[in-house]
Structure 1
Amino acid sequence: MPKHFIASLILAAGLAAGGQTMAQGSFTPEAHWVCVSQTGYNTNAPKRFTVPTAMQGTVSFYITAEGDGTPLFKGTASNGLGDFTAFTPTDTRKRYVIHVQGGGLPEGVSYPFRVAPYQLERAGFLPSVWFMNDARSMTGTHHSAYGGCPWRDGTYYSYEMPSLIWLFLSNPKVYTELPATISYDSLKALVFSPDYKPTKERNDESALAATKKYFTTIEKPMGKRVPDVIMDLHWGLGYYMVNPETQDPSGDPLPKQLHPQTLAQFAYFLYAYPELKQWFSEKYYRQVLSFTLNNWQKTGLLDVQRQVGTTKGRHAPGFSVLPNLLLFEVAKREHLPDAAKYMQAAYNQTAWIIDSLSLQVPLNTKGQRMSEYNLMTGLATFRLQYPDKAPAGLQQKINEWADVVINRSDNPWDFRRYDLDSNWTVPAMNEVGNVAGFPASALLAAAVIKDPGKKARLEQIAYAHFDNLYGRNPLNVHAAHHPEMGFEGITKGYPRGYHENVTARLELCRGTISCVPGTEMYPFNPTGKDRHLEGWVNHNTAWNVSLAVLNWYDNRPQTITRDKDGLKISWQAPLMEGQTLPLTLLVNGVVKTTVHLKPANGSDYTVVVPVSQLKGLKQGDKITAVYGLGFLAKKLELTI
């Protein structure tokens, strides 16, 4: 057990929220605190930790295996910040701890953590999906529908369906082969059982009827084995098809209606449909397509959205950019004569952001809390996928965003602050979803940024926010109040939780992320006041998107060559241990075959495609190898 939790507290002046040093006498630890990601670190990614008890000067550190005193790596932490990126152990089964010495305090020891290829991705695969299973309204781990949406306490800006599509497109091999645990027939029998009695909740007046209508009017998923992410997607989409009008129960002035942000989610399914055909019929797709096209303009999704919401996270700027880009692709695929209007809508919205949205104003970025990622997912995807169609100034806007982030993250936590005055975190709110969703924005921006130094720093900050969520914060705790519910290897979760058996009942859900420290605890005041302790589906869906972007970022084509033996391909991708990597091979843009790469070590996959499989190739043919789907695909090309 780390020594730093044995501490004495004395009455004294409070800690200055914006300062970089600990106020004299406010908190007196008996040993160093060593704050790490309890989930662990990816082998080939930035690996950093914070010593908040040594915010000035230097202290030494060394790393050992858990339960072993032999130093494996040594270094120095300066002004509270330590870096062990160069530590790349080959034994991925062991857990490691960091020991800190010096600075006038007894030695402190971190909680144990793992270092392994794709540790962050692999640790997130199951709990991210389990949460989406368990938190479903009416058919999840509690038979209720607080708020009246497909997920308990969900809203029109929860983005459940997009987050599922992000996960699936980013890593189809994994999310197709994870355990399939949801039985449509069993849930249908449950709902129509005379013993089924859901509790009465706010705004749930139509939830029971919608649930029964879902099971009686929406075609069930096809196939004998339906992955959980697909079952969840089918549930969310089907529920909204029979019950599209909702009202946010948390004081939203908008009435019950079909909200544009609800409809915007449909574009993700429509875009991904060619990859979902084995589970969704053409008839189902056509019903969703017709509903979406008939209501897109009516709900204002072709208009420039100028409203910037409060820190609640309801109206994040840029939310319509990516949905319009996706619907543009759908309209082209369907040979619709007005396909260009969706591209124009994305263009107009992006141009407004470039010209009118100040990134210096904290409310416009971090202030959008768990919904903030909608801005950069739209802007970066536009820049990456349509560089010739994007408005002038988009690259510069993303560069500016990166500069603001880097400027506000210059602290021992590598933590992107709300501002550089008195607020470290979003004022008043629990911002666990903002921390969870931030890596998606930072990694997408890093993919666009051309300056190598800024790109590397964005990567550091992105990983630091995974670290923060998993324990590298002023409480030294994981964001889950019940880490035993779905998370592996976590020693200490958030110590206080929300009331049980109310609202969404997320204490019954595996994979719930609950709370992170607010300004009151920064830079180091672990006795500061907690923020709102309740988890929320909106927070978890933001985490889903960051996990998906991490999948995409770590999907790294390496080499493709041809010699007398055939085609040699090397690739890196964050699969589950033991899986093979399926690559689609195209010749001159036409799908030729699928080849399966075997793991060569912890992170690399290789294959030699025999000459016999490449019959008919001629000089000048272009071979393309692809993993990932849609706008999240990565590829390698070779011209014969």
Structure 2
Amino acid sequence: MINKKPSDLFILIVLTVAAIFPVKGQNNLSLSGSATASSVDAGKNADFAIDGNPESYWSSGSLDEQAWLTVRLPGATEVLGATIDFAPDHTPNGALLLQYLLNGEWRTVHKVANNESHRVEVDLEKPLLVDRIRIAAADQKPMQIGEFILSGQQYKDSSTLAAKPILVNQSGYNLSRPKRFTAPGIADGTAFHVVNLKNKQTVFTAKVKGEKGDFSAFNPQTTDAFEIQIKGKASYPFRIGPYWMERVTYRNMVDFMLDARHYVGNVKEIRPISFAWRDGDFFNWSMQSLVAMYHSNPFAYERMEIKGKYVPNEAFPDAYRGLWGELLPFKEGTPDIIQLMHWDADVKISQQLDHEMQKAELAHFLYAWPYLKKWLPRQNFDKVYQYAISVWEKAEVSEHSLSQYDKSPEHNLLHLKTQLGTTKGEMPPGFSVIPNLMMYEVSKRENDPEAGKYFDAAYRQMDWMIQNLDWQDPMTTKGQRMSEHMTMRAFAYFYTEYPERSPAGLKAKVADWAKIALSRSGNMWDFRKYDEAEWTPPGWNETGNILGFPAAAFAAMTLLGDKDLIRDLEILAWSHLENAFGRNPTGRHFSFKGPQEIEGVDLGWYSRHKGGIGLLDEVPFVFDGSPKSFHYPNYPEAGDVGWTEGWVQFNTAFNISMAYLANYYTRLECSQNESGDLLIRLVAPLNFYSDQEEQANVQVANMAGNSISLGLKELSAFSLELEGRMEKNDSRLEAEGQILLLEEKDQVKVSYGYGFFEKSVVVPVK
């Protein structure tokens, strides 16, 4: 049982008893909204239907057989009814649909049939909480609407009173990284103060600009808590540490994946639309998120306490037979993150999953094999490899591998993929690029004479994306929701691994993406909008897009040459992490249980979804919700509106962002002093606690391929770096009882991280 502080109990009580109370608003809500339409005829614009003037009217095109008119309200509103006045002198439509937007789909709330009247009045049985509603013709005839009147009340959620007036990352910020906050309503030029809460001293001062402040230059060497103060207003307290974001998330990330496993996690039930992970579907990207995490910062995950264990399939009832168990168990002492990769591959192989995205995930496991084999039996690789190559070019898909969200026209991973997914996030452009490039490397390792076909497929796909993706269309970017990072990571992977073999225009395409992302982010939240008109993908709970955007940004930054572009994109990457930790219009962390589970978090999400397909409400570190279109640009009064439910896809997007963040900032240096000793320094997210001396291991190899592991130690309690030394004695290097023999004119390679995230430096040894 979790012991709650009195403040925690107060927040829970507020959330429990929060009441929605009406605020008197105008009767015709449409007058405060904006209108769009399916088509316009002869200058009869959509706005004419909501201008309050009975003499003007909107007319759809004469050939428009699916005419509609949408009214978007300024924020969340309780609509009680609607009145449709057809234009005089025009025949009214005989059949109509009154619809509202929910989760990206238009839902019908009322149908009108056999209509002959010029006025149609609809009274709803209960208030409809929406920000946009439309009338659609159901008789395949054009429409002429004089007035579309929505009646109801604006409202305010009293639970919004729990938030602070200055919005920060409630948990804390990383040293030497961008650090920002938002101060709605504060005038430009107003001074803000960073105050040390231990001694009440002001330790940093600057000025607000654009309703936000920047204290990136403030990098204290202390564990004290701080808050932002402006003219009597204050933020939640926060701390600043060398790797604070990693400190409060790494263990939580792994714990979520352990408990969210299907069959063997914290829930044993067999769930629909679930394979290796509950509510995981076929586009959850779990394997690649785990591989990226481990490759980016291996020692951080190897040093973790091991909580998982092998669960034999035979220990379960008959209904579970064959759902996993084809791969031999991992060894005793295997890190949790390796156990999770094993689990994902085992379920895919055991169930013979052959959807193109499921089999594509196996490439990540195969690619990572050189770094997994000390824990896993060789049988694991052989089984996965043989299965992957047997189904890679298979166009058909088995029924048991599907769900209702499948959009793939076929499943041959060597084919060109031109299908663009919906805002569900199920078909991101370029999802096959990295898997094909990984299969290329794996097949070369296995001496497959046809290895080149994988590279060729990836090249064709990348070239098509360069030529055909239009970044101005939000469906190619934020419209892919929690899967957008797949596209930009494909660009970065291709160029980083094969700079001389990449298609023409690749880097320029990435720069264009960055410029468009920044062009949509000039606001008080440093928040990348869906497009010029929309803040979030229409109707959707976009939690995973915010969490996954840093991965796309950091991937792009590795290819950019413009320093100003890199600087601005870096701010944007961190601002999205800040958004998830409370710097957003609701002032809340995305996790309902954030205050109990995440160090430093004060106010969690309004609620959590009990039940659901994934049964994830009791899994640790669930991202339950995020601000909706109702809340932006700054309408916290909307409160707990829209859909709230955790999803594995949200967490894996965050996992990948944290992996790309680690990779971007990791640095490795090696030099030789006058005595011939090697001095090695590593910058990596490893120094989490100022009261502990934390370490890391790097690999040191000679030209013959022999290697030893060298331990590094942090330079100080708040340092970003770790350092170690190898002594040179004649023709050998020595460290910690290990010896690395050297040949004449030998060189040593020092490395940290694995595969596509490896950081290395080669030094001639004098």
Q: Which TM-score applies when normalising by structure 1?
A: 0.88
Paired amino acid for 2:391: N
Question: 1:22 maps to which residue?
Answer: none
Q: 1:378 to 1:31 in 2, by over 3 A?
A: closer
Paired amino acid for 1:35: L
Q: 1:89 to 1:293 in 2, by over 3 A?
A: same
Q: 1:336 to 1:51 in 2, by over 3 A?
A: same
Tell me the SS of whatever aligns to 1:520. coil
User: For 1:509-558, what per-residue CA distance to the aligned partner results, in whole angstroms no more than 9, with x for missing partners?
Assistant: 00111111022111100122623200100110011000111111221124
Question: 1:255 maps to which residue?
Answer: none
Paired amino acid for 1:596: G
User: For 1:569-611, what per-residue CA distance to the aligned partner results, in whole angstroms no more than 9, with x for missing partners?
Assistant: 2221111543312111122372432211111122111112100
For the pair 1:314 / 2:426, whether they are aligned, the reply is yes
Question: 1:200 maps to which residue?
Answer: none
For the pair 1:47 / 2:179, whether they are aligned, the reply is yes
Contact 2:188 2:207 in 1 (8 A): no
Contact 1:581 1:596 in 2 (8 A): yes
Question: 1:96 maps to which residue?
Answer: 226
Tell me the SS of whatever aligns to 1:233. helix
User: For 1:31-74, what per-residue CA distance to the aligned partner results, in whole angstroms no more than 9, with x for missing partners?
Assistant: 971111112111010001111232x5332211122354211111
Tell me the SS of whatever aligns to 2:181. strand
For 1:588, which of 703, 711, 714 is the aligned residue? 703
For the pair 1:433 / 2:544, whether they are aligned, the reply is yes
Contact 1:34 1:49 in 2 (8 A): yes
Question: 2:360 maps to which residue?
Answer: 264
Question: 1:169 maps to which residue?
Answer: 295
User: For 1:203-231, what per-residue CA distance to the aligned partner results, in whole angstroms no more than 9, with x for missing partners?
Assistant: xxxx72334xx24x431112x21211112
Tell me the SS of whatever aligns to 1:278. coil
Q: 1:634 to 1:31 in 2, by over 3 A?
A: closer
For the pair 1:181 / 2:294, whether they are aligned, the reply is no
Larger strand proportion of the pair = 2
For 2:213, which of 52, 72, 82 is the aligned residue? 82
Contact 1:32 1:51 in 2 (8 A): no
d(CA) in 1 for partners of 2:548, 2:302 = 23
Contact 1:64 1:73 in 2 (8 A): yes
d(CA) in 1 for partners of 2:264, 2:569 = 40
Paired amino acid for 1:152: R
Larger helix proportion of the pair = 1
For 2:349, which of 233, 238, 241 is the aligned residue? 241
d(CA) in 1 for partners of 2:257, 2:620 = 9
Contact 2:252 2:621 in 1 (8 A): yes
Question: 1:116 maps to which residue?
Answer: 241
Task: State the Cα distance separating 1:8 from its structure 2 match.
Answer: 11
Question: 2:694 maps to which residue?
Answer: 579
Contact 2:478 2:537 in 1 (8 A): yes
Paired amino acid for 2:678: L
TM alignment of 1:106-505, pairs within 5 A: 107-146=232-271, 147-185=273-311, 191-192=316-317, 208-211=320-323, 214-215=324-325, 217-222=326-331, 224-245=332-353, 258-298=354-394, 299-421=411-533, 423-484=534-595, 486-498=597-609, 500-505=610-615
Contact 2:430 2:486 in 1 (8 A): yes
d(CA) in 2 for partners of 1:606, 1:8 = 59
d(CA) in 1 for partners of 2:33, 2:631 = 8
d(CA) in 2 for partners of 1:65, 1:122 = 21
Contact 2:194 2:203 in 1 (8 A): yes
Task: State the Cα distance separating 1:150 from its structure 2 match.
Answer: 1.1
Paired amino acid for 2:492: A
d(CA) in 1 for partners of 2:446, 2:553 = 34
Contact 1:560 1:638 in 2 (8 A): yes
Contact 2:164 2:236 in 1 (8 A): no
Contact 1:479 1:493 in 2 (8 A): yes
d(CA) in 2 for partners of 1:530, 1:274 = 48
Q: Greater CA deviation, 227-236 or 394-403?
A: 227-236
Question: 1:597 maps to which residue?
Answer: 712
Q: 1:520 to 1:333 in 2, by over 3 A?
A: same
Question: 1:72 maps to which residue?
Answer: 203
Task: State the Cα distance separating 1:616 from its structure 2 match.
Answer: 5.3
- Please provide the CA RMSD for this pair: 2.6
Contact 2:164 2:235 in 1 (8 A): no
Q: Greater CA deviation, 520-529 or 351-360?
A: 520-529
Q: Greater CA deviation, 169-178 or 265-274?
A: 169-178
d(CA) in 2 for partners of 1:485, 1:428 = 30
Q: 1:507 to 1:442 in 2, by over 3 A?
A: same
Tell me the SS of whatever aligns to 2:480. helix
Q: Greater CA deviation, 176-185 or 460-469?
A: 176-185
d(CA) in 1 for partners of 2:556, 2:455 = 21
Contact 1:584 1:591 in 2 (8 A): no
Contact 1:154 1:538 in 2 (8 A): yes
Q: 1:79 to 1:504 in 2, by over 3 A?
A: same
Tell me the SS of whatever aligns to 1:636. strand
Task: State the Cα distance separating 1:120 from its structure 2 match.
Answer: 1.0
d(CA) in 2 for partners of 1:141, 1:180 = 16
d(CA) in 1 for partners of 2:270, 2:467 = 41
Tell me the SS of whatever aligns to 1:542. helix
Task: State the Cα distance separating 1:466 from its structure 2 match.
Answer: 0.5
Contact 1:18 1:420 in 2 (8 A): no
d(CA) in 2 for partners of 1:532, 1:583 = 45
Q: 1:618 to 1:221 in 2, by over 3 A?
A: closer
Tell me the SS of whatever aligns to 2:322. helix
User: For 1:82-134, what per-residue CA distance to the aligned partner results, in whole angstroms no more than 9, with x for missing partners?
Assistant: 0000111100x222111112xxxxx2211111101011112111110010011
Structure 1: give runs of 5+ residues left out of the alignment. Answer: 20-24, 102-106, 195-206, 246-257
For 1:34, which of 161, 166, 169 is the aligned residue? 166
d(CA) in 2 for partners of 1:273, 1:316 = 26
Contact 2:670 2:678 in 1 (8 A): no
Q: 1:244 to 1:635 in 2, by over 3 A?
A: same
Q: 1:491 to 1:402 in 2, by over 3 A?
A: same
Contact 1:560 1:637 in 2 (8 A): no
Q: 1:32 to 1:268 in 2, by over 3 A?
A: closer
For 1:510, which of 598, 602, 620 is the aligned residue? 620
Task: State the Cα distance separating 1:501 from its structure 2 match.
Answer: 2.9
User: For 1:253-303, what per-residue CA distance to the aligned partner results, in whole angstroms no more than 9, with x for missing partners?
Assistant: xxxxx2100000000000000110122211221110000011111131101
Structure 2: give runs of 5+ residues left out of the alignment. Answer: 1-6, 9-13, 27-31, 35-71, 75-153, 395-410, 734-739
Tell me the SS of whatever aligns to 2:617. helix
Contact 1:485 1:509 in 2 (8 A): no
Question: 1:608 maps to which residue?
Answer: 725
d(CA) in 2 for partners of 1:574, 1:18 = 45
Alignment: residue pair count: 595
d(CA) in 2 for partners of 1:483, 1:515 = 12
Task: State the Cα distance separating 1:445 from its structure 2 match.
Answer: 0.6
Task: Name which one, 1 or 2, has greater alpha-carbon Rg.
Answer: 2
Task: State the Cα distance separating 1:485 from its structure 2 match.
Answer: 5.4
d(CA) in 2 for partners of 1:552, 1:291 = 31
Contact 2:327 2:383 in 1 (8 A): no
Q: 1:15 to 1:574 in 2, by over 3 A?
A: farther
